Amino acid sequence: MMEQQMNKIAVLLSSYNGYEYIEEQIDSICKQKNVDFTLYIRDDGSEKEFVELLCGLQKKYDFKLLKEKNIGFLKSFMELLAAVDDADLYAFSDQDDIWSESKLEIAEQWFQKQNSYDSIPLLYHSAYDLVERGKKVGHFYFPDAGYDFRRSITENHFSGFSMVINRKMREMMLQGDRDQIGYHDWWAAMIAQAFGKSFSDVKTEAEHRVHGDNVTTFNIKTRLKWLKKNLCETSEIKKRSCEFERCFKNMMSDKDIRTLAMFTQEKYSLRQSLKKAFYPKRWRPAISSEITIRLLMLLGRV
């Protein structure tokens, strides 16, 4: 039997003044086994000393460094995704986690088993441990059951640093306006549920650090910030939904178009707000989050 050709994988890391943990993360990425990969680091306008640190690490580790201006980590990942166009698979990485040596290999094995490998957007996500000061404080795994396009509008099951996507997903993600889509992993989740396939692997393939400088851990502080922002401004959910409708409406099923339309109306509609707020099925997994999202729906903020 002919051996399957190894995929070319691009690992995309956005850095910003990550002095304390960056070398350990780069080291764990560079120890990946049985895969053909290239690590790309886009530095998001860090101070001079940190950029010099990265340049020094290039002498020890093999990676491509893009020194760019500060645009924020969300846009930084999308800029990097657009800049690297010659890979078969794309993996995202934070600057302060630790990967297992088999993280990319396990992901690639899943992609190799998919019949529609090139024709539909695919998303692989592995479970991970939450670690604080070297001690495990939690575990993150969301099963696929029950997660569909409707749920993907209001909740995101995927953390970018634990995702791997194919070229078709990359192509569709890049159609969105980066000022409107917000979180790149949430954007990918919606695309996968509407047009492709996602898989949440129970295998734990990374340690995600929890600390004060971490920008992706969704803790109490960030939840309150998210609530305040949604009360005071046009919600990210609505902006992302409107952008999804603009990009993909002509490709969507009638059912998904009707579902998305509940979130894209320009003016406040009491009927739509009540329909969402008293929808018979869950919008989010946690009770506190479910109550919050339904309150925002009732107020017309989501």
Contact 29, 57 (CB under 8 A): no
- 18-22, 151-155, 168-172, 283-287: least confident range: 283-287
What is the mean pLDDT of the segment spanning 204-225? 70
Quick one: pLDDT at residue 1?
A: 38
Best-predicted range by mean pLDDT (114-123, 222-231, 247-256): 247-256
CB atoms within 10 A of CB 37: 20
Asked if residue 98 has pLDDT above 50, the reply is: yes
140 burial class (0-12, 13-18, 19+ CB within 10 angstroms)? Answer: middle
Q: What is the pLDDT of residues 268-282, one digit of tens each?
A: 888 889 999 999 999
Q: What is the pLDDT of residues 109-127, one digit of tens each?
A: 999 999 877 899 999 999 9
Quick one: pLDDT at residue 228?
A: 64
In percent, how much of the chain has pLDDT > 90? 79
| Gap between the Cα atoms of 12 and 72, Å rounded | 15
Residue 227, token pair as written in the block:
């609530």
Asked if residue 231 has pLDDT above 80, the reply is: no
pTM: 0.92
Superfamily of domain 8-209: Spore Coat Polysaccharide Biosynthesis Protein SpsA; Chain A (3.90.550.10)
Q: Where are the domains of the chain?
A: 8-209, 220-298
Asked if residue 222 has pLDDT above 50, the reply is: yes
| Gap between the Cα atoms of 181 and 244, Å rounded | 8
Quick one: pLDDT at residue 239?
A: 95
